[in-house]
Amino acid sequence: MSSHSNGPHPSLPIRFRDHAVDIVKVFGAMALVLAVIGFWPPEGLTKQTAFLVVTKEIYEVMEMLNLHSPPEEVGRNLCLQWCVLFLAASYGIVLCLLAKRFLAHSHLRKATKSPGKYVVVCGLGPVGLQIVTDYVSGNTGNEKARVVAIEKDESSPGVETARGLGAVVVAGDASQHSILKKACAHQARRVFAVTGSDVANFGIAADLALDREGGPARRVDCHVHLTDPALAELFRMAPAFTDTSSRANVRGFNCYQRAANQLIFDMHKDSLPGEGEVTHFFLFGFGTMGQTVARELAMQAHFANLKRFRLTVFDPAAESAANAFLSSYPAFCPERGSVDLANLPAGIDRWDHFDPKIRPVPDARGEGHGTGPGIEYVCNAEFRTLPVDAGGPFLSHIVVPRIEQKAVIPRFIICFEDEQQSFATAVNLRNVLKAYREAGTLQIFVAFKRRSAVERLLLTGDEGPVQIIGFGNPADICGWNHIVHDQYEKLAEFMHGKYVDARLREDPRAAGPAMKQWGELPEEYRASNLQRAYHMEIKLRVLGPERINEGMQEAVAEMEHNRWCSEKLMSGWRYGAVRNEPLKIHDYLVPYANLPEHVKEYDRKAAPELFEFLKEGQRFVKRGGAAAE
């Protein structure tokens, strides 16, 4: 444990604490009723006299609780004895609550007494707990800090876990300014906005960036978790987050994106599709994780086979999920229903393939006449509704005809929001694949939000022809080191610096938004550099340790061009003979063979650059994806 940890903080059991006020009310009412019964006036007394007697005796009971001698009636009256017990219990609960509040306030004051010496974690879900764990266990490099956490739901298991680790927990909604002030977030060294709501995380960042209340100006490093692409785009463009004079240095990250990229690396660490082969991904679940995987496949699944990948999506709500996804990314795949991945036309996986029956959209091939050389879409995909009771027969009917096609490399990904559904689907799919694919080894990758006994049971001893492998655990993709010192962001910054230097050597007067230093670079260009850094892993695995020959260099150049085209298409660009950047029209969105020679030469530099980056940038990234020290 870190030397800054105070050890576990004393606290009442969650259920008891949550209902303490109600318990006090009930006990107080019971005591009052018992007192009335115990002092019920004997016959002959008037109502006025009875009231005086009851009032007098209750006063005497209260005196007893204040260490006065008890009246003789209490010792002889069972109702009054129970009255005393209920009142004593009520007093005890109130005293415990007051003591707890005092201790919590004391711990909070102690933790936040030195500005810049503590961090604030907003949200105690899996990601927030991982950050807390990293700080208190010393997995934060040379950065030591006390931890203050904010959690809206006090009944969340993360609250007791964080307190047990030594963090100070503030109960409340972190998106409210008063709660952030209570936690002294505006004077923290870092703030991690990792609640389960993108809107709340966005609000936390805005509050910190726009804060102008008292105290010396101090920039807080704010790390914001955003999963909604539309909100992330708004985040990138908001002046409050790009203004260097704001009170917060705000940077966004996406754990789902990190998990998806790590998944792509892990799926291809042992083998890549070769010449003539095509990869077919089977994606079960099209919620937040599933859609993120689809986006990252579009950006990263570009290999030396130089073909588009295939994707079959299964989801109980496939119709609505696909409509929402394709409305945001219309160039992701051909028109829905135009392709059947069990019976594809010849050549459809090639990047220069065009068939107006498959992609009947206006201006798909350029200037409105459908004959231009432009690339229209990223991959061949289909969306299948998964019945609630889908079992082996349904999966066999859809999956088997697609994996038995010649030269198809199947990859299986399961990422339902409901982990129980993921487990059941993994077991059913494994049984289907064992029955139909005895030769070779197939892998099923299943998303797990946290390590669990069920995951260990599912994965233990799975060394047969079909293996189940977990991915997406916060410890693997969203720990402190991944968020604060992201190796790929460091590499992206390094690559951008090399680009700027090269452009200035060509033209000392070169200018424009892409020429700005990394700290001032618009988020669009930062994200593009980051995607290029991610894809370096795949290019390195294609090249291997050997010297680059002409054929390898040309293959990597075409891989890089296909990746760039996909990135542009997913960002809303389209082909046009005349470039128009405000309208997102680009004349180089064409197959590699159709590029001008000087543009091909630029892409050919990608392979030699990889080894230069590997040599000069090894302090940022190591082979295999391990973070460098």
Cβ count near 424 (within 10 Å): 15
Q: Domain boundary residue among 439, 463, 480?
A: 480
Q: Residues 468, 347: one domain?
A: yes
Mean pLDDT of 484-497: 85
Domain that holds residue 183: 112-253
Q: Residues 80, 185: one domain?
A: no
Q: Residues 55, 156: one domain?
A: no
Q: Residues 312, 432: one domain?
A: yes
pTM of the full predicted structure?
0.79
For residue range 421-474, what is the model confidence (pLDDT) as tens digits? 898 899 889 888 887 755 567 889 999 876 555 555 555 555 567 888 889 888
Q: Residues 316, 454: one domain?
A: yes
pLDDT of amino acid 154? 82
Q: Across the strands, what pairs with 408?
A: 278
- pLDDT band with cut points at 50, 70 and 90 for residue 527: confident
Q: Residues 278, 216: one domain?
A: no
Instruction: Say if CB 588 and CB 603 are below 8 A apart.
Output: no
Q: Residues 313, 237: one domain?
A: no
Q: Domain boundary residue among 67, 100, 133?
A: 100
Q: Among 40-54, 106-120, 321-335, 586-600, whose mean pLDDT is lowest?
A: 40-54
How much of the chain, in percent, has pLDDT values that exceed 70? Answer: 72
**Residue 32 domain-assigned?**
yes
Q: What angle do CA 148, 149, 153 make, to 5 degrees?
A: 155
pLDDT of amino acid 326? 94
Structure tokens that stand for 12 in this block = 């009442």
Residues in the chain: 629
State the Cα–Cα distance between residues 118 and 65, nearest whole angstrom.
43
How much of the chain, in percent, has pLDDT values that exceed 90? Answer: 28
Q: Among 59-68, 167-176, 298-307, 433-442, whose mean pLDDT is lowest?
A: 59-68
pLDDT of amino acid 331? 92
**Residue 510 domain-assigned?**
yes
State the Cα–Cα distance between residues 21 and 16, nearest whole angstrom.
9
- In angstroms, the Cα distances linking 471 to 144, 264, 265, 620 are 29, 10, 11, 23
pLDDT of amino acid 274? 86
Q: How many domains does the chain have?
A: 4
For residue range 78-105, what is the model confidence (pLDDT) as tens digits? 676 677 777 777 777 777 767 666 665 5
Query: When comparing pLDDT for 573 and 243, which is higher?
Result: 573
**Residue 415 domain-assigned?**
yes
- pLDDT band with cut points at 50, 70 and 90 for residue 604: confident
pLDDT of amino acid 607? 66
Q: Domain boundary residue among 480, 514, 538?
A: 480
pLDDT of amino acid 7? 45
Pair type for strands 408-414 and 574-575:
unpaired
